[in-house]
Copies of this chain bind each other. A is one copy, B any other.
Amino acid sequence: MAPHLVQPGWRFWRQAACTLGASVQHRTWAGVSRIPRLGSPWGATATSPRVYRSGFSTSPRAPEVMLTRERYPVRRLPFSVVSGEDLAAFERIVPGRVITDPEVLEASNVDWLRTVRGSSVLLLRPRTTEEVSHILRHCHERNLAVNPQGGNTGMVGGSVPVFDEIILSTALMNQVISFHDMSGTLVCQAGCVLEDLSRHVEERGFVMPLDLGAKGSCHIGGNVATNAGGLRFLRYGSLHGTVLGLEVVLADGTVLNCLSTLRKDNTGYDLKQLFIGSEGTLGVITAVSILCPPKPRAVSVAFLSCPGFSEVLQTFSTCKGLLGEILSAYEFMDAECMWLVTHHLRLASPVQESPFYVLIETSGSRAGHDAEKLNDFLEQVLSSGLVTDGTVATDHMKVKALWALRERISEALSRDGYVYKYDLSLPTERLYDLVTDLRARLGPRAKHVVGYGHLGDGNLHLNVTSEAFSPSVLGALEPYVYEWTAEQRGSVSAEHGLGFKKRGVLGYSKPPEALRLMQQLKALLDPKGILNPYKTLPAQA
């Protein structure tokens, strides 16, 4: 990112604030920049999520994670068990990359949220599509179950084994295959880390069409397999639109090459769409072709205090009208989220305390024009009382620091205790009612009930924490949350997918006819059910 938007905007903002909100207290970036970058609370926000996420999961104080097969009522399906002959066969396919060391396996058996834990005894690290094909052909013949794994940053237990599935890691499939400078088309292996790809295309004047908190660890193949949404969804839309092609290895080892780099291709059914969001249950994605938009010349972030949720909504309407095509993100978080990131991660809030906070990002091609639009917007929301305090950043590091307040909520939650996570699509006008409702319902049983998320996409991240896993809290939450969502015709998984933990609730958002067709598709593409079993689709009776 090359932020050129600037002092004019910033100056205006302070001026407007002084004129329009006499009682408003301002802590500005000028103050913030006096704090030394490294080692300071603000400095921490500049570190890569790759660092803090893995740092967190290996934290010595982290308690042992209960085995999934013990915590949940799930029964192992009659797959074969890995034999010495299998190990020898795999050693021939991926020599030196057949891992059986329990210590190495531990990290791949546990999800990063530390809520589920498999007991796989085998991790394979192919480098090529051909190797993946050979591995799956062998597994298919031998009826061995496989758990495809990218960066293992999933939220619903989809990326780790449930029992002893073989872990098929894409970690070594991390090569960029090509990048086309005129069209912005990137072709790469599935195991490329999102942040590395971002860097690669940004050096060439483009950006990745998706961005998420886990960017430092997550793999592009995993992003596509979960149909990740993230922080740029509002501007660049869904992966169903931006992914141009996929290479996928099917359950029997067949390589399906749909790795097109064309923006338009209406020759027959668009097969790649089947695999976007299928969570590795229909095939293993080995390469991705994706359209990258041009890198914006100017990026600004405004972080604002809102007195109520109704003001959050009205600010969104105003912002769509006045920022138009340069609006690239509209995120919100409540006061409890701010407490969590300031308390557990020691980040500092740059604005006055308030019931709600909004983060607005603009990305455009002309800094001066963008600044004018942003200023007009800020003047309007301030003068109308929709916003009571705020700060604007255009400098890259400051933009990152503001984003960290929103991006690191998930990490702060994990430090608060056991986390019950819900990722819901709801009509925006009712989005926050569920949070208020649950606070009353749970009372002191919950440490925190928080709401934040991608308001611009109608996507609420609802999180509840308690000291430790508690069946009573879970019982108060489920099926209540799902029923509430279904009543609003919402989605019980907006962007996280279903994985292992949510597969039973598919029926709250999809009718039986859809579920039946999904099961037929699974049977067609993976007749033995070896690909990521116990995930996505409900257990069949």
In the complex, identify which listed stretch (A80-88, A335-343, A403-411, A518-526) lies at the interface while the others stay far away: A518-526
Question: Looking across the interface, which residue of chain B has its beta carbon closest to that of A458?
Answer: B263
Chain B positions within 8 Å of A494 at CB level: 262, 264-266
Chain B positions within 8 Å of A288 at CB level: none
Candidates B229, B363, B517; contact of A271 at CB < 8 Å: B517
Chain B positions within 8 Å of A182 at CB level: 317, 428-429
Task: Tell whether A203 is near chain B: CB-to-CB under 8 Å.
Answer: no
> For residues 442 through 470 of chain A, which have their beta carbon under 8 Å from a beta carbon of chain B?
454, 457-459
In the complex, identify which listed stretch (A98-106, A344-352, A495-503) lies at the interface while the others stay far away: A495-503
Question: Looking across the interface, which residue of chain B has its beta carbon closest to that of A265?
Answer: B491
Task: Tell whether A95 is near chain B: CB-to-CB under 8 Å.
Answer: no
Question: Looking across the interface, which residue of chain B has its beta carbon closest to that of A313?
Answer: B182
Chain B positions within 8 Å of A274 at CB level: 269, 273-274
- Contact status of A268 and B524, CB under 8 A, knowing A182-B429, A326-B325, A491-B262: no
Question: Looking across the interface, which residue of chain B has its beta carbon closest to that of A459?
Answer: B264
Question: Looking across the interface, which residue of chain B has its beta carbon closest to that of A454?
Answer: B264
In the complex, identify which listed stretch (A17-25, A378-386, A508-516) lies at the interface while the others stay far away: A508-516
This chain: copies in complex: 2
Task: Tell whether A294 is near chain B: CB-to-CB under 8 Å.
Answer: yes
Task: Tell whether A425 is near chain B: CB-to-CB under 8 Å.
Answer: yes
Chain B positions within 8 Å of A255 at CB level: 513
Q: Are A365 and B509 in contact (CB under 8 A)?
A: no
Q: Are B266 and A513 in contact (CB under 8 A)?
A: no
Chain B positions within 8 Å of A355 at CB level: none
Task: Tell whether A400 is near chain B: CB-to-CB under 8 Å.
Answer: no
Chain B positions within 8 Å of A233 at CB level: 263-264
Chain B positions within 8 Å of A241 at CB level: 237-238, 240-242
In the complex, identify which listed stretch (A210-218, A366-374, A433-441) lies at the interface while the others stay far away: A366-374
Chain B positions within 8 Å of A267 at CB level: 491-493, 498, 505-506, 508-510
Q: Are A268 and B425 in contact (CB under 8 A)?
A: no
Q: A257-B513, A262-B458, A264-B458 are in contact. List 18 more A-B contacts (CB 8 A).
A: A229-B266, A237-B241, A240-B241, A258-B510, A265-B493, A265-B494, A265-B509, A266-B496, A267-B506, A267-B508, A268-B515, A270-B276, A270-B277, A271-B514, A294-B320, A294-B324, A325-B364, A369-B372
Can you report 8 A-B residue pairs in the complex whose CB atoms are below 8 A from each other?
A183-B458, A229-B264, A257-B513, A258-B514, A263-B425, A264-B495, A268-B510, A366-B369
Which 4 pairs across A and B sit closest by C-beta, in order of nearness? A241-B241, A324-B365, A273-B273, A265-B491
